[in-house]
Amino acid sequence: MGAAFNNLMEEESKESLARMCCGLMDEIVTLKKPVKQYEFLNPDFLEAMNDIGRLGHEVYGANAIEARNGTSRIPRHQENMLHAYRHITAYEDGVKHDHFGDLAHQLAAVAYNCLIEFYYLQREQGEK
């Protein structure tokens, strides 16, 4: 069927179609969002933070930060910042992370709890 269609098309329309396809492909390439580079962030640290987020997801579920009714399952301020402080203290005392068994994940847990707090702050500022 494709061959029959090609035979029916005039050479000029084939060329026009080809130019249009090339133009569309060029447009698609320019629409792709470039990957942003964060030259001041350590990829290993980001990976450890992601490990902490994954662990939180496994422990608290998909709606750990936001439950369906819009309320937090992790209390803000009272828990997030205190939890971050507990990880700082554990790190300073040389206590390895209870799940991952290293000090690096203690620091990542500090950062991840601050990330959750940052999320709430952004929501508050956006709602005002």
Each residue's pLDDT tens digit, 55-113: 988 887 766 665 444 555 555 556 788 889 999 999 999 999 999 999 999 999 999 98
Residue 16 has, within 13 A of its CA and on its CB side, a CA count of: 5
Cα–Cα nearest to 48, from 93, 128, 104, 122: 104
d(CA 65, CA 56) in angstroms, rounded, equals 9
**Does the pTM exceed 0.85?**
no
14 has pLDDT over 80: no
d(CA 119, CA 21) in angstroms, rounded, equals 42
**Residue owning tokens 């980001």:** 46
Question: How confident is residue 121, by pLDDT bands cut at 50, 70 and 90?
Answer: confident
Check residue 107 and give its pLDDT. 97
Cα–Cα nearest to 106, from 54, 40, 46, 52: 52
Q: How many residues does the chain have?
A: 128
For residues 56, 58, 63, 66, the Cα torsion angle rounded to the nearest 10 degrees is -10
Cα–Cα nearest to 97, from 48, 41, 42, 47: 48
pLDDT in tens, 34-51: 677 888 999 999 999 999
